[in-house]
Amino acid sequence: MNAKDFINHFRLDVIFSNSLFGWCTEDEAVNILVSTNFNFLQFFMYTSLMLNFFYSLDLMLTLKSPFYPHERRMKWYTFLAPFIATILVALTSDNTTSYIHVLNFYTETLTGCVVITAYLLFSIFSCAYNYRLGFKAGMSSEIRQQCIYRHILYVIVYQCTWLPYLAITYYGLFLACKHENLGNLYALKGT
């Protein structure tokens, strides 16, 4: 069952079309709901990745200068994460309604690959950097060990969460060169 079947089964297209007082037809409502659903998914995915990127960055900055107020950096993180996510979604969103949009599909998968790969590499770098900074004088060895261990464990869990999606995006980018494979990936996307 794809997104269109779900929308048609629960008559969400009729509800959406009637709530807009006839501004769009039921067929247009289905296309709007499908694309909006995927755009929300991408927005929250990129926001989550950006917030975790800023988490790794903040831990690095905190270990480098522990007495700098966290609140001064946090206001930038909470503003920049949704802002960057909005830009990424706007650059990769599909504004048309036909099924064969190979260029846009590759733009979406390339953006997903680049963002997730950049996060994975940066988080590994932050673990190594925090491990190196953790051996400076001034911290007790027990606190240092707990901080580094928890950060490494968090990064491992978060990376394992995103590895299946990264594998799908790499598959879509490099191996799905036939249209029947693209059709299967479009079904995953919901369009």
Task: Please report whether residue 77 resides in a domain.
Answer: yes
Supply the DSSP symbol for 1.
-
d(CA 107, CA 92): 6
Residue length of the chain: 191
Task: Please report whether residue 123 resides in a domain.
Answer: yes
pLDDT at 99: 44
Task: Please report whether residue 26 resides in a domain.
Answer: no
Q: Which of 189, 161, 78, 79 is nearest to 181 (CA)?
A: 189
pLDDT at 98: 44
Task: Please report whether residue 81 resides in a domain.
Answer: yes
pTM: 0.73
Task: Please report whether residue 59 resides in a domain.
Answer: yes
Domain with 165, as residue range(s), is: 34-189
How many domains, in total, are found in the chain?
1
Give the number of other CB atoms < 10 A from CB of residue 58.
Answer: 16
pLDDT reading at 27 higher than 50: yes
Average confidence score pLDDT of the chain = 80
Task: Please report whether residue 134 resides in a domain.
Answer: yes
Task: Please report whether residue 51 resides in a domain.
Answer: yes
Task: Please report whether residue 116 resides in a domain.
Answer: yes
Q: Across residues 9-33, what is the average pLDDT?
A: 79
Q: Across residues 83-109, what is the average pLDDT?
A: 71
Q: What is the pLDDT of residues 41-56, one digit of tens each?
A: 889 999 999 999 999 9
